[in-house]
Structure 1
């Protein structure tokens, strides 16, 4: 049995696409894909993280590369626990001293069952105390927003599995919403569009590459062409086609519209005084999905409110969680007293 060294408390962004680990005093010490390669015959874990991601679509039949988190929540408890144990052990080593506090980020409106699954996975991986914090609140802290002011701030955190939207004021979340549409749905939409239009089957990794090379949420925001390689569904042979930005805008229209509709819902539920603050201060976007080209400009056009993408947008959530965990260690939970749950 291994344990953590004294003082190595951790904040973990257990994301659908990526796991980030923050260690007190050291910052972000690990950032790897949320992927596990498993031998189906023996149920043995063969690789975790980046090593497992390289196997996606390239393994024999008995080996599968799985993502144990879907839509921001645990879909395979046993594999998630093994993945979490691997990442924490990799972060902290095997020296036998004491177990730490661990803070884990969760989506807004996560159910009690989903929360319990996260807590159990962390405790079974060796954590002594587990704290949960909502992703938009952590993102706000990580982006440097002063959440203690009696002033409204709006945060949109677009991850791999969920988009979390929150209006924050006076150390708490006033209005919150979560939708299971984010980066993964963007990739799925691209895969579906290319399959239907070009009769070409591509994988998740290829779709993600195409998304960054040529995709946009807003027509006219860029003009790129990407070469896409895959398997021709008519001939069964390897093939390649070219896809343009305008075509990818059409492919992404449905998931992007769902996110914008949810943003409208949150703004409609926001008290007038806080809505006025948001107009003055703008909307903050965080998460890897926020990097979809043109999405910030489209939201700005649809809402009439300025939109800013945070610096270190992918790391905001785990950085904020680390700051909050440090305040807990100093017995200073005032800034988050109603928002952090200890299990």
Structure 2
């Protein structure tokens, strides 16, 4: 789970039935909890009350996946105000009725000057969190592999090592997907909400907009709410897009065509997306359709061994991962994040 520093926080009065709010587990990541507490305090929470979790089923949010969405809640004891933190925007009319003034952002003026030039570019928080999480995965891989060194049965040891490497590889690629989704959301906000001073050209897409949710009763059709929901629909479409198209939609508005400017980096990233798909859906076998769809005219991939030699994996053969290969893709994803941040910094004027 990413840092909650930039999450939405909603206030609501009052939630009196708290029995279905699950208390935060004591062994939950301490850094995450401290950031969550600080987020609430920034919005006026005085530090009392118990932080808990509320599960929202997937049919309530178009931007949630099939497992639904968790939000975090704390109720201030002295006045009964509930604070609700969510990584996703919560488009519920009664909740928004009490939060319109908070989220009704002022529009940029008509000048062409950059905003807060000395600040951070619009995806820098996402980049920092992504790189931090990549570093954590690298540390975890090292610790987990070290923990099985004492196993004397070589076959069992190799089976466990394969599971460790496969699990972490899949999680790293999921982390990449989430990072790209979050970065694209920032581009959407820049273009559709902040006035697009930098004149970014997003890819044209036929997207079905759900106009039933764009204007709520008793809200007088506030423009910001309409724009926010359009952003939500476009973002939802982006998240469902195949990886190669998603990569193109994210990078081309920044004049960063990886197929021409960073061909090798693009190939390595897509290769690992294919590997993840084959691990999860094809029992570790290099699947023909997965390979040809993402890397046309290719019948094999190459991975690094722990001896720094290259292993060629042909179609339908079992994929063999190594610690060296995973460290290589982590380094390449760090490079991708830094390059993307640099391109955004050059192309987009807005600063935070």
TM-score of the superposition, structure 2-length normalised? 0.28
Larger Rg: 2
Greater strand share, 1 or 2? 1
Q: TM-score, normalised by structure 1?
A: 0.28
